[in-house]
Chain A
Amino acid sequence: MRTKSNIFYQFRAPSPRQLIWRQFNDNPIVVTAYYVLAIIMLAMLFAPILAPYSPEQQFNDAISLPPAWHPEGEMRFVFGTDDLGRDILSRVLYGARYSLGYPLLATIIAAVIGITIGAWAGMSRGVQSSTLTHFLDVVLSIPSLLLALVIVAILGPTLHTVMIAITLVLIPQFIHSVHNAFYTERSKEYVIASKLNGCSRNYLLRRVIFPNITSVVVIQFTYALSTAILDIAALGFLGLGVQAPAPEWGTMLARSMEHMYLSPWSMLLPGVALFMTVLTINILGDSLHRAIQQQDR
């Protein structure tokens, strides 16, 4: 902008979203996190192309093979194989669908339901509003993993029930934060001004208030996503989540625990993948939060 010697240059303040984006771009760690997450996402989407083998293909000649840089390793299996002779890299790549894809899906569903109910509660007053929010306070008071465990215990450990459990667990958080955001935003002067303009309720909700609480929603979304990832992995680790042959990262970790001394590498890659995913999502969420806060000041 300024470096281009434009003689018609005039200082123009950027829009609120540009400001957040700039702030975001200033921090190299955040930018790194952003790219790492993007790479993980792409790996998840293009796993069939990127993965050298099928996740369930067993190589009887290569059982518990160490990674390629180890003297006993083979170039075929870059990160080694597990005790059944399956390529760990392929399994982790495919596993991203279970460990990142499904949580993402669950979070999106939870967000849609939660935001709808939260907005409804936020726009209503009195008994209706408090019923909607305080009813769910009970749910909020139980740790999400425990609640998911209860639901899985009742419905049985399959992929579907885990998804239902995670989604149900996340909904109250969304309702709560969206309701609170709506509640504070509703009494602000610009909303009153719009109301006095004779706007319809629907317009007020969608075009006036909602754009101003996107920050809250985005932050809540990142937190919910990392919770969902950890919960699914934890359920898998406990053997209550996605069932055995599926290459879910938590399940893989649980399996590799048995052979920790013999083949420690088998827990390396899924562990690192899980760690990186949650870390990048948390960094992004945190920095987004900070960027928005700084802009508010």
Chain B
Amino acid sequence: MSIILDIRNLTIALETPSGLTKVLDGFNLQLEEGEIHTLVGESGSGKTLLAKAILGFIQPKWRITADRLWWRQQDLLAMDTAQRRLITGQDMAMIFQNPASYLDPYLRIGRQLSEVIARHPHRWRGAQRRRQHRQLIVELLQRVGIDDIDAVCNSYPLQLSDGVAQKISVAMALAHRPKLLVADEPASAMGQYTRSQIYEQLFRLNTEYGMTMLMITQDLTTMMQQTQRLSLIYSGQLMEVGPLKQVLTEPAHPYTDAMLKMSFLDSTHPPKTKLPTLPGSIPTSQSLPIGCRLGPRCPKAQRICVQRPELTTVQQRQFACHFPLIEISPHE
């Protein structure tokens, strides 16, 4: 498997009135072609910023530095805006948390879909063009599981339920057959049933087209059976990466352990009893702790934690902690 997206030591700093704030601090991510990678991070962890940096939606107030930000061996940071946009347009797509907010409220869905298709490489003209577009739209919508195609195409975004709107956005993302799909909490605001539908659609894209996916989510409970690898990020720092099964069964990082227990994944926990928690609250961007940012909340923290732990690699897993929960054999 080749690595399609290679991020090494990515730092995004925001210019604020009180100086630069590193919202993402030394982040690493390697996406293998065709995998589903889930990135778990609580609010303020910089996960949305990361997604935007990958796709190149960069604000002028961001300072982005990285040892490597490579997309299929091409350095994204060295490119100018036009090249970057071309790559994003051809190879990447993103699905946002709130679909209704980025569909144009004044245009019918059909019109918006044909706008997306209009950039399709085929060159049709006139009536044939209209017919072909129609054909493509029908295909796309069927693929994401919408039956009532005419009604949906003729309605405005506000008339659609969240679930359908999100399916439309999946269809839009799909129109160009991107190689990478970044989904930022695609169904967190939806009910259980719609949520599982959306996830199923997304996972099918992976199995059918081998699309690489970066799923960004807030908690571990969202459907993850399909995920191959898992990254946990806290307050802009990478805590742990590894294959899903390994991370879940024997977490290396205290944060992962706590997240697992808090997310009810530990089935041994009887109802109506107190959950184990991390004390304190998530640090705001004005008051980030030095060293390991989990430090003040970490049950295993000691004095050395004011220094940033190095990312340790053990076989397929990586974690950044001075006191990992798993044994590291010294010769490795």
Contacts and interface: CB of A to CB of B under 8 A. Distances in A.
Contact present between A and B (CB < 8 A)? yes
Interface residue SS majority, chain B: loop
A78 B18 CA distance: 49
B290 to A, nearest CB: 15
Interface residue SS majority, chain A: loop
Interface string A1-21: 010000000010000000000
A11 B18 CA distance: 10
Nearest to B286: A11
Contacts of A11: 18, 286-287
Interface string B1-39: 000000000000000001000000000000000000000
B287 to A, nearest CB: 6
Contacts of B286: 11
A11 B286 CA distance: 8
A272 B320 CA distance: 68
B21 to A, nearest CB: 12
Contacts of B18: 2, 11
A295 to B, nearest CB: 14
A2 B18 CA distance: 10
B75 to A, nearest CB: 34
Contacts of A2: 18
Nearest to A10: B287
A2 B286 CA distance: 14
B285 to A, nearest CB: 11
Nearest to A2: B18
A181 to B, nearest CB: 24
A291 to B, nearest CB: 15
A189 to B, nearest CB: 17
Contacts of B287: 11
A273 to B, nearest CB: 38
Interface of A: 2, 11
Interface of B: 18, 286-287
4 closest cross-chain pairs (CB), A and B: A11-B286, A11-B287, A11-B18, A2-B18
4 contacts: A2-B18, A11-B18, A11-B286, A11-B287
